[in-house]
Amino acid sequence: MDKVAGQKRSLQFLYPQIEPFDQRILDVGCGHHIYVEQCGRPDGVPVVVLHGGPGGGCSPSMRRYFDPSYYRIILFDQRGCGRSRPHAEVEHNSTWHLIADIEQIRAALEVDRWMVFGGSWGATLALIYAQAHVPVVQRLILRGIFLGTQSELDWFYGGGAGKFWPEAWARFTSLIPPEEQEDLIAAYKKRLFSGDVVLETRYARAWAGWENALASIDSTGISGETPSQYARAFARLENYYFSNKLFLAPNEAILSNMSKISNIPGNIVQGRYDMICPPQTAWGLAQAWPKARLKMVAKAGHALSDAPISMELVKIMDALRA
């Protein structure tokens, strides 16, 4: 999960715009080629940024949460989205493919250990990656916690969040016949993978619109028209991952494996009024992770661009400078 809404509000708290000193396309196999970039200080402390979604892609503003004179900032577009190709492709695209991709990036860039920074689905992926590759993770900085559990999906796609935003929920559900509304993920899956690009795009925009409408604390419940190419990748990838329970077996559930990262320090930043990923999940994660510091941010929602969220993340990254 993760949508960026209202970026202008947060820009005042970020570092100035910067351009990458390195951009490359990495062949990760099975026909997938992923976009990777590096910004900031080439010999700085490495931090890899994991975007949300699945399918959200990186944006230039994500470079700006880090002091470029100190950090070596590494961003990449996960399989099937952003500048990675093939676009909106779900074949050979799973959580474990992405974990392998992150390791391939680390090896290609000759990074020994790095910090991992991620929000929403990016936080999910960061936790799974850390549990799989403990020795190479220096620290986790996470925002808007999503652990990929059925209860979280039920909240957002089963009517929980809809009780707070009935008008946006009505728009999202109105495209689905009443007899299919008990499982909206499955109902949307039929349309998002119909083979008709026009139909897929229509439902992709509705899928992305529902999430975007609830992302920011300042939301009116109405989101702008999502660009068709972005929406199709975002919706197809999210739906595919959610339909497959994030490709996690029961024994791979994040909370069940927290002992593996008990010695890795972390920061959790959570919006108190996050309607997409409710704060209970972040609180539960902090209880299972003694070395994590949880910051509940008042008057903030889910969006990375909510100003108090951005301010807190920059504050954390600045404080971590040696």
Q: Which residues are known catalytic residues?
A: 120, 274, 302
Tokens encoding 172: 């999202």
91-101 b/e (C-beta count within 10 Å ≥ 16 → b): eebbbebbbeb
Tokens encoding 288: 């299972």
Whether the Cβ atoms of residue 281 and residue 152 lie closer than 8 Å to each other:
yes
Tokens encoding 254: 């994040």
Whether the Cβ atoms of residue 49 and residue 62 lie closer than 8 Å to each other:
yes
The C-alpha angle 136, 138, 141, rounded to 5 degrees, equals: 120
Q: Which whole-number Å values give the CA distances from 81 to 120, 232, 233, in the listed order?
A: 16, 9, 6
Determine the Cα–Cα distance for residues 184 and 167; give it in Å rounded to an integer.
17
Q: What is the DSSP letter of 85?
A: B
Burial of 247 (0-12, 13-18, 19+ CB in 10 A): middle
Q: Please, which residues have CB within 8 angstroms of residue 306's CB and are 6 or more apart in sequence? A: 6, 9, 10, 216, 217, 218, 271, 297, 300
Determine the Cα–Cα distance for residues 19 and 90; give it in Å rounded to an integer.
30
Length of the chain: 322
Whether the Cβ atoms of residue 244 and residue 113 lie closer than 8 Å to each other:
no
Whether the Cβ atoms of residue 295 and residue 319 lie closer than 8 Å to each other:
no
Residue with tokens 């979280």: 152
Q: Which of 154, 129, 127, 142 is nearest to 242 (CA)?
A: 154
Whether the Cβ atoms of residue 302 and residue 2 lie closer than 8 Å to each other:
yes
